[in-house]
């Protein structure tokens, strides 16, 4: 009796192995699409600020500094997984009623 219990326990462990899940005739991966929020630069604001040197009674403007402030807008980047080409597994077709040569145009002689 103990041998029978051990045998069925071993059979249950072998049958519950997760490695058999991918053995369908059609094995494929569903396309995965990932969305990533990002910012896109759509323009720039250029500001000119004069740089001056001030002395006691006179201000001299030597040059003006340009400050560029980018304009950004939210966008959504999309990445999709590559499509994997799948092939059908060949189906094994056997019948118990007739031998394999019976459907090829000639009848058995018995």
- Residue at token pair 């997984």: 81
Q: How far apart are CA 87 and CA 79, in angstroms?
A: 25
Checking if the pLDDT of 27 tops 60, the result is no
- Residue at token pair 């069925």: 8
pLDDT of residue 36: 76
Global confidence as pTM? 0.30
DSSP 48-107: EEEEEEE-SS-EEEEEEEEEEEEEEEEEEEEEEPPPPP--PPPPP---SSS-TTTTSS--
- 48-107 pLDDT per residue, tens: 877 776 666 776 777 777 888 888 888 877 766 666 666 666 666 555 555 555 555 555
Better-predicted residue by pLDDT, 103 or 6: 6
- 7-22 pLDDT per residue, tens: 988 778 777 765 555 5
């Amino acid at each position: 009796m103990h041998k029978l219990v051990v045998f069925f326990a071993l059979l249950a462990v072998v049958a519950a192995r997760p490695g058999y899940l991918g053995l369908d005739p059609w094995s494929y991966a569903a396309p995965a699409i990932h969305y990533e929020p990002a910012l896109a630069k759509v323009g720039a604001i250029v500001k000119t600020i004069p740089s001056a040197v001030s002395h006691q009674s006179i201000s001299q403007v030597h040059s003006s500094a340009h400050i560029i402030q980018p304009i950004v807008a939210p966008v959504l980047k999309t990445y999709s997984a590559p499509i994997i080409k799948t092939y059908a597994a060949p189906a094994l077709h056997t019948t118990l009623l007739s031998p394999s040569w019976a459907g090829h145009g000639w009848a058995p002689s018995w």
